[in-house]
């Protein structure tokens, strides 16, 4: 079970990821969304991506899904499972 944390250490790599994700979440070039919005969007995307993989895994060939949907966070292991690769 995960514990609630109140602080987030921003390494250079994590700050770079936040900056890239903020650009995706921002409405326009002048928008600077709060980090909580960026985190919420990333978590929502991760959950929806896994559900999308589950929804299409029986409709398309495994190689097609793997080529289109594998990321460093979620991946398709042939037809047996969808797994989280994070951590």
Diameter over CA atoms, the chain: 45
Flag whether 16 is in a domain.
no
Q: How confident is the model at residue 85 (pLDDT cuts 50, 70, 90)?
A: low
**Token digits of residue 12:** 């250079």
Nearest 5°: phi and psi at 46? -60, -45
Residue 42 lies in a domain: no
Domain count, the chain: 1
> ∠40-9-3 over CA atoms, to 5°?
65
Token pair, residue 28, equals 């326009």
Q: Is residue 79 one of the residues assigned to a domain?
A: yes
pTM given for the model? 0.72
Q: Kindly report, residue by residue over 21-79, the tens digit of the pLDDT.
A: 999 999 999 999 999 999 999 999 988 888 888 888 788 887 787 788 777 777 766 55
């Amino acid at each position: 079970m995960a514990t609630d944390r109140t602080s987030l250490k921003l390494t250079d790599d994590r700050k770079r990821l936040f900056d890239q994700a903020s650009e995706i979440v921002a409405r326009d070039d002048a928008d600077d969304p709060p980090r909580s919005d960026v985190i919420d969007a990333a978590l929502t995307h991760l959950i929806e991506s896994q559900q999308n993989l589950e929804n299409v895994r029986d409709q398309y060939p495994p190689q097609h899904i793997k080529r289109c949907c594998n990321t460093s966070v979620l991946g398709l292991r042939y037809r047996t499972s969808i797994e989280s690769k994070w951590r």
